[in-house]
Amino acid sequence: MGHEFCGIVEDVGTPADRSLIGRRFVSNSVISCGHCVRCRRGDTHLCAARQVFGMHRAGAFAEFVRVPMSVLIPWPDDLSAQAACLAEPLANGVHVVNLTKHLPVHSALVIGAGPIGLMCQQALQAIRGAKTIVADVSDGRLAVAQRLGASHILNARSHDVAAECRSWTEGEGVDLVVDAAGSGTTKRVSLAALRPGGAAVWIGLHENRMELDSYEVTLPEKQVLGTYAAKKEELAEALVLMQSGKVDVTSWTECIPLDESVAGFQRMLHPGPVDLKAVFLPSAQT
């Protein structure tokens, strides 16, 4: 809670940093130690001592939050707070793209048209030029995915998602599947919809244990990748994507004053097509 944010420096810990006061920054959600073996390898998002805002330390659903300088990147002048604070979830989509750079990706299925699914969909379209198929159980969410450029949308309540993916790819299956829902069922669908040699990226966290026909992975040499966070450099890539206009993070999100956040959370239980995700703004910003 409160791990996706941007802000203006109000005060600093050491006098030497006073020039930072008043400057605008976007924060990463993960604080890495910088010296463990994983950080030294460049996998700062997997830091052995990682701390996440809102989990291991105070999050940003507040007027002020304490942030180490090491997690900040400049907030570009031409981006609104509504856009800039969504660099972190978009960076998760950028990270999925970077994780699968080794594969040719012409077609991709995204399961789950919630915020993370829509970020992954747009990153795949913008960076890899992939044709995307988006599956969900909500027609409202699917309409957003279609407006954001999905080639096909599928309501999983009325369609066999894997069969439709195969029929759109001459019986082969898609190159890449992102499971942004994360149930046992969607993980099985993610494998069934894949072509031999393709990759399924599991990013959703809905359900932990599942049954799996493991030969479905072994015999057609399918890859299963897990992912959870993104690196600070990928937040910078996400900001550039927003600036380019290739990715839209604002038309389906809604700004709500921080003072009304309780009502905002209650509304998010029944999201509509223009408020799939809420952005809370402190009164100074509204």
Shortest spacing between CB 49 and Zn ion, in angstroms: 5
Considering the rule CB under 5 A, would residue 135 count as an interface residue with Zn ion? no
The residue range among 25-33, 119-127, 161-169, 271-279 that interacts with Zn ion, by the rule CB under 5 A, is: 25-33
Cα–Cα distance measured from residue 199 to residue 105, given in angstroms and rounded to the nearest whole number: 10
Taking phi over 0 as left and psi of -120 to 50 as alpha, with beta for the rest, 76 belongs to beta
Cα–Cα distance measured from residue 92 to residue 237, given in angstroms and rounded to the nearest whole number: 11
Considering the rule CB under 5 A, would residue 33 count as an interface residue with Zn ion? yes
The residue range among 26-34, 91-99, 106-114, 188-196 that interacts with Zn ion, by the rule CB under 5 A, is: 26-34
Shortest spacing between CB 35 and Zn ion, in angstroms: 6
- The bridge status of strand 174-179 relative to strand 194-202 is parallel
Shortest spacing between CB 60 and Zn ion, in angstroms: 22
Contact pattern for Zn ion over residues 40 through 79, marking x by CB under 5 A? -------x--------------------------------
Over the range 85-101, which residues count as b (16 or more CB within 10 Å of their CB) and which as e? bbbbbbbbbbbbbbbbe
Number of residues that bind Zn ion (CB under 5 A): 5
Shortest spacing between CB 136 and Zn ion, in angstroms: 36
CB-based contact 65:58 (threshold 8 Å):
yes
The residue range among 11-19, 38-46, 149-157, 242-250 that interacts with Zn ion, by the rule CB under 5 A, is: 38-46
CB-based contact 65:1 (threshold 8 Å):
no
3-class state of residue 187 by DSSP: helix
CB-based contact 26:6 (threshold 8 Å):
yes
Cα–Cα distance measured from residue 189 to residue 33, given in angstroms and rounded to the nearest whole number: 37
Reported residue count of the chain is: 286
Q: Name the residue nearer to Zn ion (CB basis): 33 or 137.
A: 33
The residue range among 3-11, 32-40, 89-97, 181-189 that interacts with Zn ion, by the rule CB under 5 A, is: 32-40
Contact pattern for Zn ion over residues 245 through 284, marking x by CB under 5 A? ----------------------------------------
Q: Name the residue nearer to Zn ion (CB basis): 95 or 188.
A: 95
Cα–Cα distance measured from residue 286 to residue 268, given in angstroms and rounded to the nearest whole number: 20
Which amino acid, one-letter code, is at 66?
R
Q: Name the residue nearer to Zn ion (CB basis): 32 or 132.
A: 32
Shortest spacing between CB 26 and Zn ion, in angstroms: 21
3-class state of residue 190 by DSSP: helix
Cα–Cα distance measured from residue 250 to residue 118, given in angstroms and rounded to the nearest whole number: 12
Shortest spacing between CB 7 and Zn ion, in angstroms: 24
Considering the rule CB under 5 A, would residue 32 count as an interface residue with Zn ion? yes
For residue 72, give both structure tokens: 């900040």
Shortest spacing between CB 67 and Zn ion, in angstroms: 17
Q: Which residues bind Zn ion (CB under 5 A)?
A: 32-33, 36, 39, 47
